[in-house]
Homo-oligomer: A and B are copies of this chain.
C-alpha cells in the first residue's frame, strides 16, 4: 500500500491480484465440479493480465461484450470467444475476418440477424439464440415458442449456421430483494431453458444452455443442469454484490485510489480528484437511504476493510465528495491518497483502463 502511496498521481484502479485469483479459483472449481463449461465474461476487467490468471486455471473459452473486445483479446492469444451481444450488423466486416482467425461465437434474437449473418459470412458461423429470461433487454421471450420456432426455421435454411444452443442473461438478479429471489430466478430459468433445449434437440445435436450472471453464480452451490456459465463481475466484485449479499468485503478485488485536494472539517467533507469520468455515476443507497457512489476503505492484511460512515456522496466530472466522520477527516491531509470501493466494478474499470496498478 505504501508503494502505491508514493507513485499514484491521478485516480487509479488498484487490483488486488490475490483476491482476484481466489475468486477465479473458486468459480473455476465450482464449474469443474458441476461438469459445466466455464466461459467467463471478460468485459469486467478487459485486462490481458487478469486473462493470464484465468489461463493458470486452464480457462480457454471466454465471453466479451463487443466485437472490439473480441479483437482486443485475440491479441493476447485467446482464440475461442463468444461475443454475448446481439450481433451488430454494422460490424460485419470485422466479424467476417475474426471468424476466419478464431473460433468465434455470435448471438442473434431475430430472423433478420440470422439471415444477415448467413448471407454475409461464407464460413461456418457458431450461433446461439439469445433468450429473454426475464431481464427484458434483448432476446426471444423464454415462453414464446412461436417466435422461437420462426427463428429456428430460419436457422435451418442456412447450412453455414451452426446452432450452439440457447443463451440467457438473468440481469434481473441485480434487482432481487434477497438471495432466495436470486436462487428462484436461477431455478425457474434453468427449467425453462431445458424445455427449449429439449424442444429442438431432435433437430439439432448437442444443443447447450448458457447462463451466468454473477449474483447467481456467486451464491448457487453448483451449476448442475446448465451446460455453460459466463459470470464476469465475480472476478472483482463490488458494492452492488455486497448489497445483494452475493459476496463479502473479503471477496472484493478492486479499489479506486484518489488524491485528496481539499478538506472542509466543518462540513466533514473531503474533496478528491476522482469524479464521474473515473467512477461512472452508478450508485446505490446506503443503510440511511442516501445515494452513494463508493465506500472509503483500506487494505488490511491483503483484504479490503471499509471505513465506517465514510461514503463517496457526490460526483461531478473530475471531483468526488467524501462525507465522513471526524476521526477519519482528522487522519487525512491534502495530498494523501484515499481508497474507495466502487459501486459497479465493470463500469469503473472501463473508465480507468489506462490507469491500473496491480497489488
Mark A residues whose CB is within 8 Å of B.
8-10, 43, 65-66, 68, 85-91, 94, 109-110, 112-113, 116, 136-139, 171, 259, 261-263, 267, 269, 271, 273, 276-277, 280-282, 314, 316-319, 321, 333-335, 337, 346-347, 350-351
26 residue pairs A–B, Cβ–Cβ below 8 Å: A8-B90, A9-B88, A9-B90, A9-B91, A43-B317, A85-B261, A85-B318, A87-B261, A88-B261, A88-B273, A90-B259, A110-B262, A110-B334, A112-B334, A116-B334, A137-B314, A137-B319, A138-B262, A138-B271, A138-B319, A276-B347, A277-B350, A277-B351, A280-B281, A317-B346, A317-B350
Q: Which residue in chain B gives the minimum CB-CB distance to A65? A: B318
* Complex contact B281–A137 (CB within 8 A): no
Residues of chain B within 8 A (CB-CB) of A90 are: 8-10, 259, 273, 335, 337
Q: A317-B43, A347-B276 are in contact. Are A89 and B137 (CB under 8 A)?
A: no
Indicate how many identical chains form the complex: 2
The 9 A-B pairs with the shortest beta carbon distances in the complex, nearest first, are: A89-B335, A9-B90, A281-B281, A138-B262, A86-B261, A90-B259, A112-B334, A86-B262, A65-B318
Which of A68, A136, A316 has the most CB atoms of chain B within a 10 A radius of its CB? Answer: A316
* Complex contact B89–A317 (CB within 8 A): no
The CA-CA distance from A271 to B87 in the complex, in Å, is 11
| 12 other A-B residue contacts (CB within 8 Å) besides A10-B90, A109-B262, A113-B334 | A9-B88, A10-B66, A10-B68, A10-B88, A66-B318, A85-B319, A89-B259, A110-B262, A116-B335, A136-B267, A137-B271, A138-B262
* Complex contact B267–A138 (CB within 8 A): no
Residues of chain B within 8 A (CB-CB) of A335 are: 89-90, 112, 116
Residues of chain B within 8 A (CB-CB) of A10 are: 66, 68, 88, 90-91
The CA-CA distance from A277 to B136 in the complex, in Å, is 20
Residues of chain B within 8 A (CB-CB) of A334 are: 89, 110, 112-113, 116
* Complex contact A347–B43 (CB within 8 A): no
